[in-house]
Structure 1
Amino acid sequence: MTEDKSAIRDAATVIVLRDRLTNPSILMGQRGAKAVFMPNKFVFPGGAVDTADRSVPLVAPLPALCSERLDERSAPGLQNALAAAAIRELWEETGLVLGERGDWQGSVPADWQEFARMGFRPTASDLQFVFRAVTPPGRPRRFDARFFLVDANAIQGDPDDFSRASDELSHLQWVPLGRARELDLPFITEVVLAEVAARVTNPEPPSNVPLFLHTEEQSLFLQLKGHPMPDAD
């Protein structure tokens, strides 16, 4: 079957925040020069939801408030798939594990076999849903991306060990939050960084989640479980 390049794919992105109360930094990597989507840009780990992500068993689910926010303006029951995709993409692109020790029950999907061989099962309880953005029309790929924030303390093992990372992102590094805008960033990443900066000292999931929505007719900046955001002065 030929891939529909115009289709909007559900996706998950992970913002790992380290030393949030002392010297906050975030994990970023650079996409390849030949990448179809956002070549050469520095981004957070993330990617599209796979079919298998929908049935991956999570040791613990997302926080209830985050699950409720994810459900708004989405296909029913997508929360598990989004959380699983976030954990899988973090593992594939950085080699970092967000999980708990334990054996899987039943068959393990192909993309999760190395994760399972490491002796871990995925857990979503430390993920916080903080932002959502839909790629504008006219781009070579379009995604409905949900951004999850997680504290580096939830990562198993050494957060500086990227030895198991794939080659999808290069120059993996912890970037001081205050200097991240010095990198070559996509516009939406700059917007998300402002949201992350506002949440550094608040460990609780946000009560309202920004949604940057692009359609063929207009671009909207909304809040999930809230009201349209006021225009900036």
Structure 2
Amino acid sequence: MNDIPIKDAATVILVRDADDGPQVLMGQRGKSAVFMPNKFVFPGGAVDLTDAEVTLTNSASERCMARLQEDADPDLAPSLLAAAIREMWEETGHRIGQRSERAPEMAHTQPDNWQSFFQSGCLPDPSGLEFIFRAITPPGRPRRFDARFFLGRADLIQGDPDDFARAQDELSHLQWIPLAKSRDFDLPFITEVVLAEVQNRLNTPDTDHPVPFFSHDGDHSQFLKL
């Protein structure tokens, strides 16, 4: 099991304000899923080779890009951001991007799994995402990922944030969950840890937070700071 390759992955935590406090967008994985069945998770998944080929209309912030490029192969950073946007689109039907009349005309020049995003009238834009957490799946799991977690506000979404009609059914029970009640759901351990980091950042928005890194040295897990 320890020989399972580790795939790069990207996950998105979107936050919005509500009368009962901040809410985060989450959904439930299927009971037959190989990885984390039945768990409530953030939208996300593995980086695809095509994510390096898609046209992004902007870059992330200088701080976000610097931390990504220090943390990994510098050429991987745009692919991670693209994967975050693509996974959000596929799993929730939400578009993180800019509306553009020329987007449908550009669709045929984009990778196949990106064309529906462009045909919807948007260009992918990662400029509102911030890199806040990194976690590698521990050994012994059926699949392993080197996941980077990106935080953004719900107003990055083009369209109704409560409309999940375009989702591709990879997650069920998509909903905005009050952050204060999120731990009442069946969550993976790492998701609970990331939620604590999100709360910390919301409580101290003007602080230059380090990026926590959940890593493994042989059979031992450890938390580092990037």
What residue number does 1:60 align with? Answer: 58
Matched-pair contact (CA < 8 Å) for 2:216–2:222: yes
What residue number does 1:84 align with? Answer: 82
5+ long unaligned stretches in structure 1: 225-233
User: SS at the partner of 2:28?
Assistant: strand
Structure 1 vs Structure 2 CA RMSD? 1.9
What residue number does 1:228 align with? Answer: none
User: SS at the partner of 2:176?
Assistant: strand
5+ long unaligned stretches in structure 2: none
- Runs of at least 4 residues of structure 1 off by over 6 A? none
TM-score (norm 2): 0.92
User: How far apart, in 2, do the equivalents of 1:153 and 1:202 lie?
Assistant: 20
Q: How far 1:54 moved relative to its partner?
A: 1.0
TM-score (norm 1): 0.90
Matched-pair contact (CA < 8 Å) for 1:66–1:205: no
Change (3 A) 1:89 1:209: same
2:99 pairs with one of 101, 104, 128: 101
Q: How far 1:205 moved relative to its partner?
A: 8.3
User: How far apart, in 2, do the equivalents of 1:49 and 1:5 lie?
Assistant: 20
What residue number does 2:221 align with? Answer: 219
What residue number does 1:138 align with? Answer: 140
**Higher helix proportion, which one?**
2
User: SS at the partner of 2:15?
Assistant: strand
Matched-pair contact (CA < 8 Å) for 1:83–1:124: yes
What residue number does 1:29 align with? Answer: 27
What residue number does 1:41 align with? Answer: 39
Answering whether residue 49 of structure 2 is matched by residue 51 of structure 1, we say yes
User: SS at the partner of 1:137?
Assistant: coil
Q: How far 1:20 moved relative to its partner?
A: 7.0
Percent of matched pairs sharing the same residue? 57
User: SS at the partner of 1:111?
Assistant: helix
> How many pairs are equivalent?
221
